[in-house]
Amino acid sequence: MSGKIQNNTDRQSGVIGAAPSATAAAANPTRTTNPSGGVGTEWHNTTSGDIFICIDATSNANQWVGMRDVAIQSRCFWAGGNSDNADEHTAANALRINEISVINPSTLGNAVDFGDLLETNQYYRGTSNGKSDRGIFGGGFTPSASPTNVIQYFTCSTNGNCIDFGNLVVARGSHGASSNGTSDRGMWHAGGVSGLDVATDSMDYVTISSPGNATDFGNLTNTREYSSGTDNGTDDRGINAGGIDTGGSPHLNEIDYWTISTTANAQDFGNLTETKTSPATASNDTNNRGIFMCGYGSGSQTNAIDYITISSTGNASDFGDMTGHDPGGYPTANGIRGHSSGTSNGTGERGLMAGGYTNISSVQSWYQQIEYVTISSTGNSTDFGNLPKRVYGPAACNNTFG
């Protein structure tokens, strides 16, 4: 026996079959790489040393998963919403947009263009499978204010437009979203299912790496819309907080939780420090803190930030305040806003919030600012940069969670 490692068709020889060949290149693969080897093709970036595997070989829409913990550059995204970029300060003239913008959360600066949604949308929610590099958006309200069941996805490390994924079980907008990171399950929960005043308690889930329709998960402890979601990543706990019930009242301060990898009804977690709708959310992933930023209280917006320890049930505590100026030039706004959206760089500890809406002296104004906090501490926010447009009701996600 020569000890040669080659084809293993001859079981008597004891030799080992050849490993599939890997492509070596100076850059990362993209969705249009279209590997001839299909699913399972291995790609080596000779510049960074990062390794990728093709998990979806759809022509011009192939998907790659990074095998190393640092394989994919950290990115945060905001998409869609209702924009007042014409500076008219009236909801009647604002338009829903389909743009996706991106930042590097570690470097202060303005967001830049990434690509487009399948359709214009508002009050929908995003999540991702973290370092596995797929972002996903579900639901929302169309320009006619009808709830949609559309789920769409994109590759976080590669600029481009969204692709159709499948449909939610329940068409909804103004809901929450969560995932267990690289464990690959994404969820949407609660929401408005008819106009803006009929709420649901339903929860749907998908396997983020496999396009297809969502499946029923269970129910929240009560019906609600204009709520928000977060999670602690691979530690597997999902959170939904705040909102209003069917008919537009009352404002809620309830927090629910569940185990993402199972299917079951949610349980009571505790309460926010105040009743609010549509708070922006973020977490520091397996470091286990979730934050809820701004939102609408009973009749007005707030700049308050709450926090919880996701693995421990109990009421939220005060974190600090969201700062920043109102885009209409009203310094008294002082960061007060609703219908913004938050995300984070995971264990990098930076929570970010962008967009939003406020009404000062009967003048409607939209935020363009991105603000950030250090999630593991408490304190007020700091300016990060700006979105390309003033917008409220966008969705957000990132590719950082483990």
Q: CA-to-CA distance for 390 and 385, rounded, in angstroms?
A: 12
Confidence of residue 9 (pLDDT cuts 50, 70, 90): very low
Is the per-residue pLDDT at 16 higher than 60? Answer: no
Bigger pLDDT: 329 vs 99: 99
The pLDDT score that the predictor gives to residue 131 is: 86
Query: Which CATH superfamily hosts domain 76-398?
Result: Kelch-type beta propeller (2.120.10.80)
Q: CA-to-CA distance for 113 and 121, rounded, in angstroms?
A: 17
| φ/ψ of residue 287, rounded to 5 | -75, -10
| Closest of 142, 221, 226, 127 to residue 183, by C-alpha | 127
Confidence of residue 2 (pLDDT cuts 50, 70, 90): very low
Coil/strand/helix, residue 376: coil
Is the per-residue pLDDT at 314 higher than 50? Answer: yes
Lowest mean pLDDT among 125-129, 190-194, 362-366: 362-366
Beta-ladder partners of 219: 202
Report which listed range, 14-28, 33-47, 59-73, is most confident. 33-47
CB atoms within 10 A of CB 5: 11
The pLDDT score that the predictor gives to residue 73 is: 81
Reading the block at residue 106, the tokens are 């570690």
Is the per-residue pLDDT at 109 higher than 50? Answer: yes
Residues 6+ apart with CB under 8 A from 19: none
CB atoms within 10 A of CB 226: 29
Looking at residues 118-123, what average pLDDT do you find? 87
The pLDDT score that the predictor gives to residue 238 is: 98
Q: How far apart are the first and last CA of the chain?
A: 45
Q: CA-to-CA distance for 277 and 271, rounded, in angstroms?
A: 13
Bigger pLDDT: 68 vs 199: 199
Q: CA-to-CA distance for 126 and 165, rounded, in angstroms?
A: 13
Q: CA-to-CA distance for 283 and 349, rounded, in angstroms?
A: 8
Per residue in 268-297, is it b (16+ CB within 10 Å) or e — as a string? ebbbbbbbbbbbbbbbbbbbbbbbbbbbbb
The pLDDT score that the predictor gives to residue 8 is: 44
Q: CA-to-CA distance for 208 and 133, rounded, in angstroms?
A: 10
Confidence of residue 31 (pLDDT cuts 50, 70, 90): low
The pLDDT score that the predictor gives to residue 289 is: 98
The pLDDT score that the predictor gives to residue 21 is: 66
- E strands, 242-300, are 254-259, 267-271, 280-283, 289-296
Rg (CA), the chain: 22
Peptide bond preceding 105: is omega within 30 degrees of 0, i.e. cis?
Answer: no
The pLDDT score that the predictor gives to residue 239 is: 98
The pLDDT score that the predictor gives to residue 179 is: 97
- Contact between 55 and 64 (Cβ < 8 Å): yes
In this prediction the pTM is 0.83
The pLDDT score that the predictor gives to residue 17 is: 39
Bigger pLDDT: 60 vs 33: 33
Beta-ladder partners of 210: none
In the chain, what are the domain boundaries? 11-66, 76-398
Coil/strand/helix, residue 74: coil
**Cα 82 to Cα 18, 85, 171, distances in angstroms:** 54, 9, 19
pLDDT, tens digit, for every residue of 46-77? 876 778 888 888 887 777 776 544 446 889 99
pLDDT, tens digit, for every residue of 262-303? 999 999 999 999 999 999 999 999 999 999 999 987 767 899
The pLDDT score that the predictor gives to residue 62 is: 74
The pLDDT score that the predictor gives to residue 174 is: 93
The pLDDT score that the predictor gives to residue 398 is: 96
The pLDDT score that the predictor gives to residue 1 is: 40
Q: Work out the angle at residue 240's Cα, subtended by the Cα atoms of residues 234 and 243, and round it to the nearest 5 degrees.
A: 160
pLDDT, tens digit, for every residue of 140-180? 988 778 899 999 999 999 999 999 999 999 999 999 999 99
Q: CA-to-CA distance for 331 and 343, rounded, in angstroms?
A: 25
DSSP 17: P
- Contact between 124 and 136 (Cβ < 8 Å): no
Lowest mean pLDDT among 174-188, 280-294, 352-366, 371-385: 352-366
Q: CA-to-CA distance for 394 and 402, rounded, in angstroms?
A: 24
Percent of the chain with pLDDT over 70: 86
- E strands, 21-67, are 22-25, 42-45, 51-56, 63-66
